[in-house]
Each structure stands twice: as structure tokens, then as C-alpha cells.
Structure 1
Amino acid sequence: MSTRERFETTEINGRNRLFSTTKTIIETAFYGNNVQAVTDLKMAYELAKKSPKTIVTDQPIKHTSELGLPKNAVMLVDNHGRVVGRTAAARQILGRPGVDNAELEAVLREAVYQGEARQFYQAQAIVGLDEEFMLKAHLMVPQGYELNLLSYLLNFQILNAEYAKRYATSKPYSEDDIYLYCDPEWHDPQYPDGLALFDPEHNVAAILGLRYFGELKKATLTLAWATAHRNGYTACHGGEKTFHFKDKQDKVFAFYGLSGSGKSTLTHAKHAGKFDDITILHDDAFIIDRKNGSSIALEPAYFDKTSDYLPGSKEMEYFTTVMNVGVTQDMQGKKTLVTDDLRNGNGRTIKSRYSAKNRVDREQAPLDSIFWIMKDDSLPPVVKLSDPVIAATFGLTLATKRSTAENVIGESRDKLVIEPFANPFRVYPLTEDYHDFKELFEKQQANCYIINTDSYNGKNIDKDTTLGILEAIANETAEWTKFGALPQMSYLSIPGYEVDLNDATYAKKLRQRLQDRLIWVNNYTKTHPKEELPVEITTKLEELITKLN
């Protein structure tokens, strides 16, 4: 089997690196008399449907048989209160500098103790959809949060008979199963924003005082990505698609960006039938094998924003569970979804894999191109980066903006922020991701581009412009122009988005954005003395800034 769930008697001790205090606290909770096992999706659906917090719509779910749901299953809605996004401020990573492990372990023990008087459910899923990388995940949630449990089993792959057989023959890893303990009802005045506690070395986490389903999804992916990273893969918070050609090699494109950046749009775009065939790996979570450049999806479904779809649209047919949306009646008196973000921002749905007819779970062809999706108006719609150090440096200093998918505390969503490799879920040293991506550019010879999906010099960059860029790159018809004196950087000349480095105002803005990146890197090094970033990063940024002086 892929990861470790059972142990020989002689292995069960504190000397075994697969055991820790936190793992023991969390795993033990799963065996309580107050915990009921949910073994299939039909059972999970019926529990969610009967929950007092659930709204049962009249909109049918497609592909119920393939999904393992009851034949007459309909979309179920679960709405939350003030917080409808992920709370990054709640995350605590054991083992990091300044983190009091003993205190947090005591908090966790008390949280589990308080939960013992209430009914919980537990279920199992698979993370990773190919026998080369499959992890078993165990989730525990309290009564009243049945829809989160159902959503989890729809978002990831429930451990059904088919996947039990596949998992049994999958590649073994000397890693723990994932155990995720969740109690949204937990309260502690020391943690007013909740607590998301991680022990990544032992694949366990506790999500406390947080209702949002995205916390469960990203907690699981956090642990899965870390496991993949430890075992020869590059962790990817992004989307991947492949353009297939009859007369040349396939083009595998990977897009990296935060929620709301456009990565899902670019991943799922069909390009109006201009290509022989396009397949999609996933739009949010995958891993790349650093040995051969192949890729594996981690989850079958899509966690989409409902506001992307109009009522009655074909894509809505693939919704299953829905969160934080309005409900109204149609002309026949049937309860139907209000997909616009009228009730609140960040309405979400688990959209089934069947929405993408061209879906694959593994892409054997090596990665061709990486796209850093940014929201930096000093950059034209697309910039090509031809040097591995520059390519990895811009990934490390990826400039973007937050969206309503995040419960932002004490910060404006319009502020330009740097989120390395568009992955705020990293629980290992950043320098390791830098080397992982740099290796893809050096050894796999992957191309690298910056895609700006926001605006350039005050002019909005529309979706069609960006899709046209991807098509030109895929067809190898793009003609690149040197980005002034900036070495190993070039751009695609597009009418309406002219680059004029002789414009003093523009040159100053571009120089300032590069300076902002340098300041960020220097500050990171100061605040993370035990994981100092390679000197080549600052050297390269200083070189670029000098070229603009």
C-alpha cells in the first residue's frame, strides 16, 4: 500500500519517525465510541441531506451512478456566517521557529477531549489518482457538518472498491496516512480566528473553529504536497493542460496562480476548437515528477466559484454540493441556486470531474511550459523568461492580489502581494521549492512565461487576449521582442499593450516593482535565518534593476 496505516508491534514506539505526539493525539480520536464510520457516498449523501443545516434544492445531479450517489440525488446547499473563505492567519506549523509545540499540543488535547462528548463521523479517501502516487486520507468531522464530509468525499476520491484495489497495488511510501481532525464548534479566546494546526512530517492536521470547506481541502493538499515534495515531486498549486498535435510533440502547459487569478479559466479553455485535442489534468492541485517531467492529479473534482456560471448554464449541471450561495424559486416553484455572489462573496461548489470531457489523471508527456500568473500592471500581457535563475526567481516573487476565497485579516485585497510559486500552503523551506522549479527549467528544459491577467499601464487585459497568447505559444507562432536591456527577457508585441521603456514614468514603475521583489527577498532572508535563500536570486534581481537605471 502507498502510505502507512498499520504497524508491527515492534514499530510502535517513540523511536519510530512515523510517530509523534500530535499524530498520536489526532489518530487516537478516530477510534472513539463517539465516531461513526461513513463507508460510501450514498450514506454520506443521506446524512448530509437530513442535516438541519442543509438546504435541499430541486436541481438534479448528473452522473450519480458514476459518482456513487443515489440515483435521484439533488444539489445540496450549506451556508456559513461571517467567514466564507480560508483563514491563513489560523495556520500554525509545528516545528517552525517561534512555534510552541508543547503549548499547541496541549491545546489540541483539550480540543479533542471537548469533542469526545459529541457525535463525530469519519471517512476515508484517496489523494493522488495514479498508482505512482496515492495517499490514504482519514477525515473526522462532528455531527452538524455532514455536508462538509460529503463535499470532502466528492472533492477527493472516496475509498471505494475500485480504488481499494488500485491503492493496494500502488507504489509504497514510508510515510504516514493523512489524518485530519475537524471541529468547527471549537472555541478558544486565545485563537479568535480559529486554529489550523499542522504536523506535516507526520501527515496530521487539526482544523479547529473553522467552518469553511476549503480549510479541509487545502489542509489535505498541504500534507499531500509536502509528502510529494519529500519523495521526488514538485508540488503544484495550479492547473495543467496539454495541447495534442498530429504533426509535432504535445505541449504541456502548467499555470500557477492564486484563486481568482484566472488559472482555472486558462486551464479549462477549449480555444474554440482550434486544436486537434486538448486534455486537462486539473485546475488546482497536481504534482510533477522531477525525474521525467510527468504529472499526476491529486483530486478528481473541482472546487469552483459559483459566480462564474449563470443559472441554467450547462456547467451548472455538474454541481454537486454547494456552499455559501443564495436559493430562490423558479417559475415552477422549484428551489434553485442563486449563483451570483449576492448573499456573500466566494460562493463555491464541488463540480464533478464529468464537467471536463477531456479529463486525464496522469500526463505522461513531460512538462513543456510554466506560466506564472501575476497581477502586476508593470508587466505586459506576457513576458518570456529564458534563464533558469530568472524564471525561478520570478516564480519565487510571484506578484498577485488576494480574492474573496481568502478570509483576509488586516490587509486590503487590492494590495499587490508576493506569494511564492502561488502556493501559500507550503510547510517546508521555500528554498527547496526554488530549487525544485529551477530544476524543471534546467533538467527538463521547461520554458517559462509570466502571464499578466490584471491590467497593463491602466488598460485591462481581457481573457481573449490571454487565450490568444497561449494559442500563439502552443502553435509556435509567437514572435518575441527583447524587453529592452533586461537580459533573457522578452515580450510578445500586442496592439494596445505597447512597451515603451523610454517612457520615464513606465520605466520607473517597472524598476520599482523589481525593487519591491528584491526588498521582499531580503526581508524574507532576515525573518527566516534558518532557510536563507540562494544568493543568486538577489544577484539576478540587482542585475535587472541596474539595467533599468
Structure 2
Amino acid sequence: MPFALPNATSVTANPTQAELREWVLEFMPRVTETEFGNLNYQARILARLTPSTFFVSDAPTGKQVMARDEAEQWAAKQDAYVAEQDMVLMEGYIGPDPAFRTGTRLFMEKSNSNVPAMQQQLYFPRDEDWTPEFTVIYTPGLRVPEHHEECLILVDLDNYVTRVMGSDYFGESKMGGLRMWNKLVYDRGGLAMHSGAKTFPAESTADGAERLALIIGLSGTGKTTTTFRNVKGSLPVQDDFIALMPGGTVHTTENGCFAKSFGLDPDDEPTIYGGATRPDAWLESVAVDPETGKVDFFDDSYTANGRVTFPLENIRHRDPRDLPKAHYLFILNRNENLIPAVAKLKPEQAAYYFMLGETKGTSAGGAHEAGKNLRVPGTNPFWFEEESSMGNRFLELLETCELEVYLFNTGRVGGPDDDERSKKVRIPHSAAVQEAIVDGTIEWEEDPDFGYLVASSLPGIDDDELLQPRKLYERQGRMDEYRALVERLATERAEYLAKFTSLDQSIVKAG
């Protein structure tokens, strides 16, 4: 039986975007109509709240847990709060495939109608066969002083219910469903991946076959930019989460895009910019002049984690149904020293770098991640148990499909932003890498320190130091620093992977 929603003062089911806009303007403070005719809400909470998130369990799971008895007490408090509220019920599907779609619903305070409005753009629409499997109950007005930022997120995988209290950040609605979807996909023999997806049309490839690329990376590493960047006529399919199944079959999840807005530029990211500047887009915590409605995507004085949603139908994209099997996997790493613009990974190395999930954190992961060197297995911070199972499943799936796996650096080589000796790997560089991969025009050689393949020649990039960072350190007389970094990385990576006691040892030894 579907989970029974708590009683409320009133419930409006599946309102239109126009109705939701009207309620946002009527009930919500800190809302501004922008120069583009869309609405921006300045949220109190500016990112997802890992310290406030608990899985409901009476046994260790490898994650932060709350005993069921205590969780039920908080659930009762939320139900009592809901009983006195006007609520919005938004229903739809995660995924478009009738054989692999999940009925999902968001039960949200009407006084925060921007969240169901944004979520409606991401759900695939319900039909007469729709039944609820996942439920997200979301009450921003119910503050929880006992927990971090007065917020509490409870994830009950036994009943597929997520409860959000206190936060008004839209990402908790989106991830409320997708976090639960991680387990559902795993139970079906696949792997949910924090991944974008794009296709290269048949006429653009060397063998005349449409090719599907998966792009994984932590929030803020350039996943959405890489997915939506037009390379050789490529078409975005999916912004954020996919399921990789045995044999390379891929299922998508969302009917819209949830993109970071900071630094959004019409020249570098014309597709996302076009979607974000339409009247029907929804903005959250973007810098907007309250008097003129002027939007400044480069102003991070409030936050660098401004967000926007818009429907995929508003931009050029590839229909998510009947996709070819996955052919490429791009692992993004916003590094600032030794990672080249691209490296080609041997099969045994792919699971190793997948499990490392290295990057430099941004505000998208919250203040506790911004600016820090991170390792998040699979670049998926929403996994439901200790991550060994994710790495082992990825290795199993690699053996069933033919994936070319590449490591991309979307950051710098030679040092951080404030080091004048360093060089930035720019968006056109990453686009040139994609084009050369599809064309098969990269000349490779083995890196003597890391064992993966690095480019000795790549059309579109004439700077060898971006392709082989060792050369930059050699030219600048910094080889002692380089060797120390190599040694430190090897030690830290070994220590990190040793924590995963159930991880297949062939992954641990691949470095």
C-alpha cells in the first residue's frame, strides 16, 4: 500500500505553473521578478545539509543514522505541523520509461510554492497508471533548533519516505526523491550515478553510430556545463542522475534542468543561459537588483550557489527514450595541480578513479565542502550505505559493457587561482577534448607517474602543459614540488581506499 499522507488544513493537487507563480507572489517574502519575467527567491538555506541528514535505521549503515523510535517522534511532530497548514501535492515520475519509471510525490507547504513549481519542471508528468512509490514531505516552516541550521532531513528507505524540516533549499526536494532512487536502482541490479548524459549524433561520429556519453562529477565541477556544451552537434539528454544497467543500458530521471547560475555566460554556456533567462524558469538565491530586476550571474555576495530550473522542452535536447548504450564515461575532477586536461583510463583504473571521486569542493556542496580537497566515491554524495557496494557494482557493470573511460580536469594545473604560475583548463579546452575523443584524433602515451594515458597530441589544444602537467613543473624548475605531490597523492589515495574494507581489492591495487 502507498504511504498515507498526513492530514492537512487543505491540499491542492498538481496546480499549474501559473497558480504556483500567483501563490509565490502572494505568500512568499524575498521574491523578486527579474528582467526576464521569471521569479527569484532568496532562500535562507543555501545548499544541501549533510550534517542535518539522517537515514532511519536501528543498525549501522555506514551513514549518519537515527533510530526509528526517535525518527517516528520527529515524524509525528511534522504530521502535527502539517495538520495546520495549507499544502500542495505535486505528483509525477522519476524517469520516462514505462518499464523503469518511479511514481513520486512532493507534499509541500503552500507558503513555499516555488519548490513544487521547480519540482514540477523536473518530474515527468503523471498519467492514469501513476501510483506513488516515493514520498517527500517538506515543511520549511517547521524549524528544528536541536539540529544543524535548525533543519532535519530523515530518509526512510524501508518506506521510501523522506521528510524535510526547516530547510527552504529546493535541492532537498530534488534529492529527496533521487536519494531513494539510488537504492531502488541498486536493488534492480544497476547503479544510480550522479551523472549528466549527452549524445553525439550519428553524423558526427567516425563510425556513423550515435554515441552516448555519461558525465559524472560533484556539484560545481562542471558536470552541467560539460553536458550542455554543444560539441559536434551533441545534444543534452539528462542533467543530473542516471541509472547504468548491465550491458550499458541507461535510464534517465528528470524532465528539466537544475543548474548552478553563478558565472553563467551566454558565450560559454548559451544553452543553459537561454533556459535560465526565459519567463518560465525559476531562480533561487541568484543576485537580482530588487528595484530594477537586473540579474547578475557573477555576483556571489549572497552565495555562489545560486540555482535555476527550467524544462528541457525549452532547449534543444535529445529525447531521453530509446537511448543507445553508454559508450563514453567522463569523470570530472576540479583539480589544481597534477591532473591533465584529459587522461584515458585503462579498465582496471576506471573503478579506482570512480571510487576516489576527487575534486575541489565548491559552495554547491555546502560551506563545509567549499574550497576543500574532497574525495566522494562515485562523485555521488547521496549513496544509501557504505560506499564499497557502489564501487563493486561499478566494477561488475564495467565487465558487462564497453565503456571508454576518461578523467577530465575542469580546474587548473600548476597551482590554485592565486598562483600566477598556474594555468586554467577552460571550457573551450574541455570541448576540444570531447571533440577529439569522438573523432579518435588524440595521440596517447603512458604517464610515467600515474600509469594512465595522457595526450601527446590533441587537436584544438596547443599547450602541452595542459595535457601533461609534468612539463609545466619541469619548465618552471618545480620538480621537487611535483615529486612530493605525486608521493603524497599515492599515500593519501591508498589510505583513503583502505577505509572501504569490503571493496574489491583489484580496485584498491589499480593505482
Q: Which residue does the alignment assign to 2:139?
A: 183
Opposite residue 322 of structure 1, the aligned amino acid is L
Q: Aligned residue for 1:441?
A: 398
In structure 1, C-alpha distance between the alignment counterparts of 2:19 and 2:31, rounded to whole Å: 17
Once the two structures are superposed, the pairs formed by residues 307-346 of structure 1 within 5 Å of their partners are 307-309=262-264, 314-318=274-278, 320-328=281-289, 335-345=293-303, 346=305
| CA offset digits 1:122-142 (Å, max 9, x no partner) | 221211122222111121112
Residue 223 of structure 2 aligns with which residue? 263
Give the partner amino acid of 1:75. N
Distance in 1, matches of 2:276 and 2:17, equals 21
Q: In the alignment, is the contact (CA less than 8 A) between 1:126 and 1:156 conserved in 2?
A: yes
* Whole-angstrom distance in 1 between the partners of 2:52 and 2:98: 34
Among candidates 94, 119, 124, match of residue 127 of structure 1: 94
Q: Could you tell me which of 455, 460, 485 is aligned with 2:412? A: 455
Structure 1 position 315, deviation (Å): 4.3
In the alignment, is residue 533 of structure 1 matched against residue 491 of structure 2?
A: no
Identity %: 19
1:391 corresponds to: 350
Give CA-to-partner distance per residue, 1:106-133, whole Å, 9 cap, x none.
1221232233223222221211122222
Listed one character per residue, the Cα deviations across residues 333-374 of structure 1 (whole Å, up to 9, x for unaligned) are 863433333451122111221343133213521111211111
Q: Is the 8 A contact 1:257 1:263 kept in 2?
A: yes
What are the superposed Cα offsets for residues 164-212 of structure 1, whole Å, 9 maximum, x if unpaired? 05x46xxx9xxx6111111112223321331110012321100111111
Q: In the TM superposition, what is the alpha-carbon distance from 1:54 to its structure 2 partner?
A: 6.1
Indicate if the aligned counterparts of 2:410 and 2:430 stay in contact, CA closer than 8 A: yes
Distance 1:34 1:510, change over 3 A: same
Alignment check: 8 A CA contact 2:332 2:410 kept: yes
**What is the deviation of 1:421?**
0.8
Distance in 2 separating the partners of 1:537 and 1:339: 41
Deviations 1:240-284 (A, max 9, x none): 11112334333221111112101111111113xxx3x42221121
Task: Tell me the equivalent position of 1:86.
Answer: 48
C-alpha displacement at 1:482, in angstroms? 0.8
- Equivalent residue letter for 2:509: T
| CA distance in 2: counterparts of 1:229 and 1:432, whole angstroms | 9
Task: Give the Cα–Cα distance (whole angstroms) in 1 for the partners of residues 90 and 396 of structure 2.
Answer: 37
Q: Which residue of 2 aligns with 1:491?
A: 454
**Contact kept? 1:296, 1:363, Cα under 8 Å:** no
Map 1:69-468 to 2 at 5 A. 74-81=37-44, 83-95=45-57, 97=60, 99-159=66-126, 164-165=127-128, 167=129, 177-193=133-149, 194-246=151-203, 247-271=207-231, 275=232, 277-290=233-246, 292-309=247-264, 314-318=274-278, 320-328=281-289, 335-345=293-303, 346-376=305-335, 377-388=337-348, 390-409=349-368, 413-458=370-415, 459=422, 460-468=424-432
Conserved in 2, the CA contact under 8 Å of 1:295 and 1:362? no
Q: Secondary structure at the match of 2:259?
A: strand
In structure 2, C-alpha distance between the alignment counterparts of 1:342 and 1:430, rounded to whole Å? 33
Q: What are structure 2's unaligned runs of at least 5 residues?
A: 416-421, 457-462
2:243 is paired with a residue of what secondary structure?
A: strand
Counterpart amino acid of residue 367 in structure 1: A
Q: Distance in 1 between matches of 2:217 and 2:408?
A: 10
Kept in 1: contact 2:340–2:454 (CA 8 A): yes
Task: Give the structure-2-normalised TM-score.
Answer: 0.85
For the aligned residues, what is the CA RMSD?
A: 2.6
Q: Bigger shift: 496-505 or 218-227?
A: 496-505
1:400-443 deviation line (CA, Å, top 9, x unaligned): 1221223224x6x2221101111001113422221232133221
- 1:475 matched to which residue of 2? 439
Report the CA distance between 1:524 and its aligned residue. 4.3
Q: Distance in 1 between matches of 2:395 and 2:308?
A: 35
Aligned length: 474
**Structure 1, 359-368 or 209-218: larger mean CA deviation:** 359-368
SS of equivalent to 1:154: helix
Shift of 1:490: 1.1
Matches within 5 A, 1:39-54: 39-53=15-29
Change (3 A) 1:327 1:484: closer
TM-score in terms of structure 1 length: 0.80
Q: 1:238 touches 1:285 (CA, 8 Å); kept in 2? A: yes
Work out whether residues 152 and 165 of structure 2, in 8 Å CA contact, stay in contact via their aligned partners in 1: yes
**Which runs of 4 or more aligned residues in structure 1 lie more than 6 Å from their structure 2 counterparts after TM superposition?**
none
